[in-house]
Structure 1
């Protein structure tokens, strides 16, 4: 009996030790790593709005970009808490590195094309259904921002006339040749000075896309980032549906850390993937210049006292309203059976200045 009692006691103690070890060493989920909840209505997991903007991106490993992405990680961290950085990735090392810089992390969800690239629509839907924010935005993963960008977003959010309108906020970048051993610092406060060395690309596409929850993502095609066609098609699509487009280029310093030229997407085997998706859905635009950032109906600039203002443009470039645009509008109307207001088209579309 004594021997049986001892055995039982040893067994009980061993069981308790095992349970204690499991509890102590069980992996804990960091508060910055979100578990996506299935939700088709885009309801948030938290009812308190915490951020002005959740800005997200996604990366593929490239040796040439390692140093530049370290700059991006630190720069975006400085935008917090008003702008919260987020990355979509399934790579453990990258996830851990981003978490260390107070980024949020979500897994890639909807992917398309030969190289299995996340769709812009899928990332927006995932972010909106998981994280509370006033605005949500995608940026290319090699862009850094100055303080004036944060202020521009604040001004837009403070404008009561925009509260109940679908928005698409756009900006062009300044290309800066990045050499890791020549200019590794890129301190947050130095960006306006460095920007004087940069130049805007000749084509008119935006490099960031920021929307509120009223933007019609449910009607957008499953276009992927980092391939031709996504930016100008999305802008033309938004214009066709009377979304309010705001160009913040005049009041936002955005630098593109160029490491491999400015036409990297042309080097990919699936570079025409977006064009193929657009054609398959019969939503081609005969001339993509109608999706140039110059065609945004609103823009920002500075008042004499240095404050930022938003204004409605009265003059547009001639290419913004080519017949190609109206043919595209007809395709959108036919596809989605939507009634569009004519108010948007009553401005003076002269080519004389703004």
Structure 2
């Protein structure tokens, strides 16, 4: 048998070379399988959080956590707050209150801080990383919705401020919306006024009946221009919404105004959804005291110039929810406040609730 010399270092017979080549070739599939499993194990190990706040995140941070949507509850509701927020009582009340709404509501918290995320998970919440920020680190609303819709499956998706508490009226109202008929081509937007309640305790926040009682006893309905939660279905065109940020003025009224303009199904659920705002010494206009308070105004002015924000109040929603002796029902609004006149002169009241007659109740 012929001998082959390699650089004068050692000798190998040609037959041995052939056998070695065959051995290496047969081992390649096993090596590939090992590397493949190792790579995907790293990819699906969990959500990766940075040590910094939301301002350090990038738009591509969510790519590794997108999985096929599981079967879900009635509503996926999410919020966030700064990692250095000192209102611990308020935040703990919210964590416990939203957890009480399970399994009908899936509570989700957006954060990029590992320590904070672990604490949130202990309260029975899901956690997602913030994928897009603006205005010195404030989450952009549209990406919160898009990330939640991609990650979870439910009938509705909602953003709410982190100091808002809900009772079972939220669940019952959404059940009514599901059972009613709305034009399938019209995306749904549900919002409402909040009720300001001073000094809510942990016991009051976690007992739904008690929460409703104290809201009636010492709560006060806030102005129609203040909208602290937004509930939409998955067809809502979040991809086309500008990059407005949460917790700053203007985004809420513009969102309602724009939805009415595009003939979406816009419902004012003030009468059936209790949104109890935990009022502290900071007061009821906290959004106007934060950094970059005019970010949304500047963004929307650059896109639309003049915006009639008063026409985006809850009182301008074409549909309303109410209660009677048989339960919750939804009807067309028969009277509009003076602030809505400008909007309806321009666009008209086109949104309709098909097959449901206008309410005769006063």
Q: TM range, normalised to the smaller chain?
A: 0.7 to 0.9
Unaligned runs of 5+ in 2: 1-37, 50-60, 353-360
Aligned to 1:15: none
Q: Trace 1:39-188 onto structure 2 (pairs within 5 A).
A: 45-46=67-68, 48-113=70-135, 115-161=136-182, 163-178=184-199, 183-186=201-204, 187-188=206-207
> Partner of 1:199: helix, strand, or coil?
strand
- Cα-to-partner distance string for 1:139-191 (whole Å, 9 max, x where unaligned): 00001111111111111112233555300000211111226xxx332232311
Q: Confirm or deny that 1:204 pairs with 2:204.
A: no
Q: Trace 1:1-354 onto structure 2 (pairs within 5 A).
A: 29=45, 36-37=62-63, 45-46=67-68, 48-113=70-135, 115-161=136-182, 163-178=184-199, 183-186=201-204, 187-189=206-208, 190-196=210-216, 197-259=218-280, 260-285=282-307, 287-305=308-326, 307-322=327-342, 326=346, 343-344=350-351
Unaligned runs of 5+ in 1: 1-21, 330-340, 346-352
The CA distance in 1 between the partners of 2:259 and 2:126, in whole Å, is 28
The CA distance in 1 between the partners of 2:102 and 2:188, in whole Å, is 22
Task: Report the CA distance shift for 1:268/1:63 in structure 2 as closer, same or farther (over 3 A).
Answer: closer
**What RMSD, in angstroms, separates the aligned Cα atoms of the two structures?**
2.8
Please tell me whether Structure 1 or Structure 2 has the larger radius of gyration of its CA atoms: 2
Whether contact under 8 Å (2:83, 2:113) holds in the other structure is: no
Instruction: Name the TM-score, length of structure 1 as normaliser.
Output: 0.77
The CA distance in 2 between the partners of 1:323 and 1:245, in whole Å, is 14
The CA distance in 1 between the partners of 2:191 and 2:338, in whole Å, is 20
The CA distance in 2 between the partners of 1:120 and 1:238, in whole Å, is 15
4+ runs of 1 displaced by more than 4 Å?
26-31
Whether contact under 8 Å (1:45, 1:132) holds in the other structure is: no
The CA distance in 1 between the partners of 2:313 and 2:224, in whole Å, is 8
Instruction: Give the total of aligned pairs.
Output: 298
Task: Report the CA distance shift for 1:101/1:244 in structure 2 as closer, same or farther (over 3 A).
Answer: same
Instruction: Name the TM-score, length of structure 2 as normaliser.
Output: 0.75
